[in-house]
Structure 1
Amino acid sequence: MKPTDLRGILQYVPQFRDRTFVVAVDGAVVTDENFPNLLLDIAVLRSLNIHVVLVHGAAAQIEALGREQQVQPSNLDGDGVTDAATLRLALTASNRLTHEILEGLAATDLRAACPNAIVAYPAGILHGIDQLYTGKVERVDTELLETLLHHGIVPVIPPLGFDGEGHTYRVNSDSVAVAVATALKAVKLIFVTTRDALEHAGKPIRQILVAELEQLLAQQPEGFPRELVSKARHAAAACRAGVHRVHIINGRIHEGLLAEVFSNEGVGTLVYADEYQQIRRALKKDARTIYALIQQAMATDELMRRSRASIEKQIGDYYLFEIDRNPVACVALHVYPEEGKGELACLYVKPSHENQGIGRKLIHFVENRARELGLRMLFALSTQTFMYFQTKAGFVEGTPDDLPPARREKYEQSGRRSKILIKPL
């Protein structure tokens, strides 16, 4: 691991320390060759004092066991009818898988246990069809799970539930994960699948607000691949139940869990329950961050060169665009009050966050700020992105005469021959 990777992780630790993540792993992921690496990722989370509950499915194992025993399962994922033969398959497959996971966690020096923490009841008769041994989660024994977590033990929860009469029911693992995450007030629910991300109409979704996801599910459910519909519905349900961040990642990607949790870009899909983006005024301590953020753009002459000291001197003019409190873009508004003009400067968005509308949000923010200050015109200087300002932000080409005298002098001395762009307010 590079030192920069470690610094990237450590910036997240304060907000996650002593909090709970629920990791929901599809059965097909457990049999993948990368699964031991996923368990190592969980060991890293535990080393950072992050509590982890691991929920697993068993659909792939039930299907394989059915072929082995020449039994046709009536239901693979706990969403349909579970007959007696399928329940037996589910019990055998789930118990084997749980034991395999416990062995894997032991190999990473993690203590783990499989508690009977899911209290279930029969799904009953739906649309005139008896669901037999399919169950639904009635409640989660949070006291039991919290006791295990308090003692550093990772609970491993299979897709099974129990009632007070000693009966066992097959329960959909996604719904178990949502119930556990909600009951424990988890800060994250992470669905680990064999797909790279949530998709709709053939396009991957990297970030989506829960309201937008619900709209897609209501209006265009056919746009989701069949195997991802459950993830989409349960992700939305989790957000509405109080889990603010739900992730969907591919468990076959090496270090995918850490990359998703400890970076702004992630590797899968983030479904979030609130607006987790904000623009804020930069503080003196942010000068280093801004300088590091724009270094690449200065090296390619996209932005005018400026020193860290000059940024710090004018830090009150700068604003940062943050995602989960991590800066991914910046902009500055330099004010010339005597002329009633303002310069929109140092607009930069990290390449990993381009084409997401962040640049336009920052321009709109600066325009509103300029109006609040009573300015009559904005201007910007650009050598490479002038078309963006003209086509996306409504600027038009101006002349050196449009610049305040002090700024015109610097413009002529720089020799950059930037295009001058103006926008009346």
Structure 2
Amino acid sequence: MNVSDLRGILAYIPQFREKVFVIAIDGAIVACENFSNLVLDLAVLRSVAIKVVLVHGIAHQLKQLAALLDTDLSDTTGIGVTDQKTFELSLMASSKVSFQILEALSSSDLKACITNAIVAHPFGIVGGIDYQLTGRVKKIDVSFIEHLLQKNIIPVISPIGYDGEGKSYRINSDAVAQSVAEALHAEKLIYLCPYPGILNEEGKLIRELDVAAAQEFHKNCSKNLPEVIHSKLEHAIHACKNGVNRVHVLDGRMDEALLSEIFSNRGIGTMIYANQYESIRQARKKDIGAILKLIQEPIEADEILPRKGSDIARDLPFYYVFERDNQIVGCMAIYPYPKTSQAELGCLSVAKNYENQGIGRKLMKFAEKISSEQGFKQLFLLSTRAYVYFMQKGGFKEADPSILPLERRIKYEKNGRKSKVLYKVLN
């Protein structure tokens, strides 16, 4: 890890300190070579005061046991029918994985405890089918888990639930993780699995989905997803709709995947998020440094006029920033010309890593909305290199410089940039 990586992590610490992260680890990830590195990542999370709860799966180990014993399984996921033989092997697999996790955590001096915090009931008889020893989450013992967290002990939760009368049931681990995250009001629910995340129909990674988009994707495209990913997407949607801000699905086999996903704006997997994830707001004094960083490259490329911190400070009431996950990734300015009922859209810039994600269009739409609400009839801008973008994506049209307000036209003629003048009539 280099210095810039460390600085990136430090930027997130105030935001995540003392927050609960529920991390769901597929059994296949516990069995992979990268698991020891993953435990080191967990140690990093604990070192910056993030409260970690681990939920593990057992499907991989269950299949291995069945192959070793040359026996058939009625179900491996905790979703279908769990007969007595499959349940007994599930208990063996669960015990094995839980203790593997304890051993690994101990090697990094992390204290942990296997819990019976899941209160379960039988899944029951559905559609005439008796699901036998398959269970469903009835309740989470929140006070028990919170007590462990207060003592700096990592709760380790298996996909086995208990009904309080001496009976236990096999439960789907994705559902367990979702229920735990909701009950604890977790900041994040992170699914670590042997897939890069959620892929679209072209096989490309989908980096972000809000709840509405995730539901639409689940409705139209989920039939082509692997069963493991289908399950995680379904539970991610449910979690986000019930108070969990962010759900991440990523490849736990990749070294530093967990840290890269948590401590960067971009991430490496798929994130499903609640609607409050992004916002546009008026800039504040503390944002000046971030704005200067955003516009540095466009200034060097002669796309926008040079600006200093003092220039931005002077015009700060006219600046707006686009935040994603509390990080500024876009900015713009709206300069008013009340005498002519015109407003100028200027200094629009989007961070390199966030280009082609619709942020520029959202900023333009917001500029139109604000300008219209303030009584302006026309929005104009000047562009030397990005004018095609503004015309195609924003609906702006080219005009003669004579449409500019007098004071702006004087500046235009004086700087000699010969920018194209674009305008849009506001409703």
For Structure 1 versus Structure 2, the TM-score category normalised by the shorter chain is over 0.9
Number of residue-to-residue matches in the alignment = 425
Closer, same or farther in 2 for the Cα pair 1:417/1:56, shift >3 Å? Answer: same
Separation (CA, whole Å) in 1 of partners of 2:313 and 2:2? 28
Any idea what the Cα deviations from partners look like across 1:393-421, whole Å, max 9, x if unmatched? 12111222222233223223323222121
Alignment of 1:2-41 (within 5 A): 2-41=2-41
Partner of 1:265: 266
Any idea what the Cα deviations from partners look like across 1:68-119, whole Å, max 9, x if unmatched? 1111221111111112221222111211111111111111111111011112
Partner of 1:146: 146
**Which SS does the other structure have where 2:189 is aligned?**
strand
Q: Which runs of 5+ in 1 are unaligned?
A: none
Separation (CA, whole Å) in 1 of partners of 2:217 and 2:324? 23
Shift, 1:351, TM fit: 2.1
Partner of 1:354: 355
Any idea what the Cα deviations from partners look like across 1:359-388, whole Å, max 9, x if unmatched? 111111111222233223222111111001
Partner of 2:254: 253
Output the TM-score relative to the length of structure 2: 0.95
Separation (CA, whole Å) in 2 of partners of 1:324 and 1:68? 46
- RMSD over aligned Cα atoms: 1.7
Q: Which runs of 5+ in 2 are unaligned?
A: none
**Which SS does the other structure have where 2:334 is aligned?**
strand
Which residue identity lines up with residue 54 of structure 1 in the other structure? L
Shift, 1:184, TM fit: 1.5
Q: Is the CA contact (8 Å cut-off) linking 1:209 and 1:275 kept in structure 2? A: no
Any idea what the Cα deviations from partners look like across 1:189-225, whole Å, max 9, x if unmatched? 1111111112342443222222332233344432433
Partner of 1:194: 194
- Where does structure 1 differ by over 3 angstroms across 4 or more consecutive aligned residues? 1-4, 218-221
Separation (CA, whole Å) in 2 of partners of 1:395 and 1:124? 60
Which residue identity lines up with residue 15 of structure 2 in the other structure? Q
* More off after superposition, 3-12 vs 151-160: 3-12
Partner of 1:334: 335
Separation (CA, whole Å) in 1 of partners of 2:344 and 2:419? 13
Separation (CA, whole Å) in 2 of partners of 1:215 and 1:287? 38
* More off after superposition, 301-310 vs 290-299: 301-310
Any idea what the Cα deviations from partners look like across 1:302-339, whole Å, max 9, x if unmatched? 22221222112211111001112211100111222233
Which residue identity lines up with residue 102 of structure 1 in the other structure? L
Separation (CA, whole Å) in 1 of partners of 2:72 and 2:391? 63
Shift, 1:129, TM fit: 2.2
Partner of 2:51: 51
Residue 93 in structure 1 maps to residue 93 in structure 2:
yes
Residue 111 in structure 1 maps to residue 72 in structure 2:
no
Separation (CA, whole Å) in 1 of partners of 2:142 and 2:239? 17
Which residue identity lines up with residue 102 of structure 2 in the other structure? L
**Which SS does the other structure have where 2:81 is aligned?**
coil
Separation (CA, whole Å) in 2 of partners of 1:299 and 1:14? 33
Partner of 2:306: 305
Partner of 1:159: 159
Which residue identity lines up with residue 62 of structure 1 in the other structure? L
**Which SS does the other structure have where 1:304 is aligned?**
coil
Separation (CA, whole Å) in 2 of partners of 1:180 and 1:251? 20
Partner of 2:411: 410
Which residue identity lines up with residue 374 of structure 1 in the other structure? G
Q: Is the CA contact (8 Å cut-off) linking 1:199 and 1:225 kept in structure 2? A: no
Separation (CA, whole Å) in 2 of partners of 1:34 and 1:296? 37
Separation (CA, whole Å) in 2 of partners of 1:242 and 1:351? 31
Alignment of 1:70-89 (within 5 A): 70-89=70-89
* More off after superposition, 8-17 vs 109-118: 8-17
Separation (CA, whole Å) in 1 of partners of 2:67 and 2:224? 31
Separation (CA, whole Å) in 1 of partners of 2:409 and 2:12? 43
Residue 381 in structure 1 maps to residue 382 in structure 2:
yes
Separation (CA, whole Å) in 2 of partners of 1:136 and 1:286? 47
* More off after superposition, 270-279 vs 16-25: 270-279
Partner of 2:291: 290
**Which SS does the other structure have where 1:205 is aligned?**
coil
Which residue identity lines up with residue 405 of structure 2 in the other structure? P
Alignment of 1:230-245 (within 5 A): 230-245=231-246
Output the TM-score relative to the length of structure 1: 0.95
Identity of aligned residues (%): 48
Which residue identity lines up with residue 145 of structure 2 in the other structure? L
Which residue identity lines up with residue 342 of structure 2 in the other structure? K
Shift, 1:301, TM fit: 1.8
Any idea what the Cα deviations from partners look like across 1:126-159, whole Å, max 9, x if unmatched? 2222222211122122222111111000011111
**Which SS does the other structure have where 1:199 is aligned?**
coil
* More off after superposition, 159-168 vs 111-120: 159-168
